[in-house]
Amino acid sequence: TQLLEQSPQFLSIQEGENLTVYCNSSSVFSSLQWYRQEPGEGPVLLVTVVTGGEVKKLKRLTFQFGDARKDSSLHITAAQPGDTGLYLCAGADFNKFYFGSGTKLNVKP
Amino acid sequence: KAGVTQTPRYLIKTRGQQVTLSCSPISGHRSVSWYQQTPGQGLQFLFEYFSETQRNKGNFPGRFSGRQFSNSRSEMNVSTLELGDSALYLCASSLMLTANTEAFFGQGTRLTVV
């Protein structure tokens, strides 16, 4: 059973478009992380959200943590080919991480 | 500050052999977790070590084992390799697994079993 469900699984868009990736769970997490992974490399941490309702911005990326700390979203504005990769969300419990299955994003020039 | 270092980066082994992978965490990090990543299954949790003790274990057969040394470096071992063990093996280190912890990953070891 996957604790964290990510949607969509695949996304192929043109450069300049906006997109939103969702990460949903029935469990409450103390914090939630978003990672981006390129082929053959390890995931790179993008952001950690901790407080329910929290919004964090990282240049063109906006991350939101749901009020109940069960879900999160990642919004990318004006996507660029360099945004291409696998986006993973992870919920942290006290001694374990639970990873979503990921959203594979392809941004075409 | 050096990141998480995994060695080797690439490995080709034959069915039935055994393999040992190494992970050096970020300095000061005491928790090391191991994951297997395959295209079909995503990131699967193998086990987590903290201060030389295994605290958590995923649903993998006993062929998969690990250990952590006093300097927090960790190794994982896979015995009697099967073709299905071909995957990217990732190690992640954390300062300490508390409520707001963050995991930092190494580049991974790509294992191919032929």
- Answer whether A33 sits within 8 Å of B90, measured CB to CB: no
Tokens (6 digits) for A48: 């950690």
Q: What mean pLDDT do residues B87-91 have? A: 96
Looking at beta carbons, which pairs linking B40-45 to residues 24 or more positions away fall under 8 Å? B42/A99, B42/A100, B42/A101, B42/A102, B43/A43, B43/A88, B43/A99, B43/A102, B43/B90, B45/A96, B45/A97, B45/A99
pLDDT at residue B98, rounded to an integer: 64
Say whether residue A46 is in contact with chain B using an 8 A CB cutoff. no
pLDDT at residue A28, rounded to an integer: 87
The better pLDDT of the pair A26, B79 is held by B79
Chain B hits for A97, Cβ within 8 Å: 33, 45, 92, 103
Dist. CA A28–CA A24, nearest whole Å: 10
Residues of B at the A interface, defined by Cβ within 8 angstroms = 4, 6, 33, 35, 42-43, 45, 48, 50, 55-56, 88, 90, 92, 97-108, 110
Dist. CA A73–CA A65, nearest whole Å: 7
pLDDT at residue A94, rounded to an integer: 66
> Is pLDDT at B95 greater than 90 in this prediction?
no
Residue range A27-48, pLDDT digits in tens:
888 889 999 999 888 999 999 9
How many C-beta atoms lie closer than 10 Å to residue B55's C-beta?
14
Phi and psi at B15, nearest 5°, equal -50, 135
Say whether residue A39 is in contact with chain B using an 8 A CB cutoff. no
Chain A hits for B100, Cβ within 8 Å: 30-31, 48, 50, 92
Paired with B38 in beta bridges are B42
Residue range B65-84, pLDDT digits in tens:
999 999 999 999 999 999 99
Paired with B67 in beta bridges are B75
- Answer whether B99 sits within 8 Å of A30, measured CB to CB: yes
How many C-beta atoms lie closer than 10 Å to residue B59's C-beta?
7
Whole-number average pLDDT of chain A: 92
Q: How far is A76 from chain B (nearest CA, A)?
A: 22
Tokens (6 digits) for A109: 């020039």
pLDDT at residue B96, rounded to an integer: 67
Dist. CA A16–CA A24, nearest whole Å: 26
Q: What mean pLDDT do residues A87-95 have? A: 83
Chain B hits for A100, Cβ within 8 Å: 42
